[in-house]
């Protein structure tokens, strides 16, 4: 059984985000310079949060979530980025991270959490945790 914990991201953690993105996107990911600019923007986003899950000193995954207002959902939270390392995913890091997202969403007094799932792994996780799929897209939502 693995023990996970959340850690507030620091400037030093940027290297881990870059490594994870290279694993996920290969050559299609941002350059290190571009990643640094985006990382700074995300860390300074007053409407969003970068959540990072660790096991020991190893990053197991991360999510970038932001508050949004719309006529469809009202005040809600949207998961922009969500990634867990394959090994730690099978140990529950993805569920741990999603529960942290739900907790943040509730703290922000958002009425709903919206998540676009573009792969079977995310779809399976969201369905397992009672998210409702939109009939016309890969968007899942859950009242929080």
Tokens of 93: 């890091």
* Banded model confidence at residue 73, pLDDT cuts 50, 70, 90: confident
Cα–Cα distance, 83 to 52 (Å, whole number): 10
Calculate mean pLDDT across residues 117-137. 91
For the chain, give the percent of residues with pLDDT over 90. Answer: 62
Predicted structure pTM score = 0.89
Tokens of 120: 């079977």
CB 111 within 8 A of CB 144: yes
Decide the pairing of beta strands 112-116 and 132-133: unpaired
CB 111 within 8 A of CB 76: yes
Integer CA distances (angstroms), 130 to 5, 25, 76, 109, 137, in order: 23, 28, 17, 20, 17
**Domains in the chain: ranges and CATH:** 5-143 (3.40.630.30)
The Cα diameter of the chain in Å comes to: 43
* Banded model confidence at residue 1, pLDDT cuts 50, 70, 90: low
| Tens digits of residue pLDDT in 19-62 | 888 887 888 888 888 888 899 999 899 999 999 999 998 899 99
């Amino acid at each position: 059984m693995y023990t996970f914990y959340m850690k507030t991201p620091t400037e030093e953690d940027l290297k881990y985000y870059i490594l994870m993105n290279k694993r996920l996107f290969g050559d299609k990911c941002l350059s290190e310079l571009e990643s640094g600019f985006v990382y700074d923007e995300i860390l300074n986003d007053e409407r969003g949060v970068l959540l990072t899950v660790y096991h020991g000193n190893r990053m197991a995954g991360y999510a970038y979530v932001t508050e949004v207002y719309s006529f469809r959902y009202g005040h809600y939270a949207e998961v922009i980025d969500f990634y867990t390392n394959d090994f730690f995913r099978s140990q529950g890091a993805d569920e741990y991270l999603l529960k942290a997202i739900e907790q943040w969403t509730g703290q922000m007094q958002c009425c709903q959490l919206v998540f676009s799932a573009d792969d079977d792994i995310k779809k399976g996780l969201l369905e397992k945790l009672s998210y409702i799929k939109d009939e016309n897209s890969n968007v899942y939502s859950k009242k929080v």
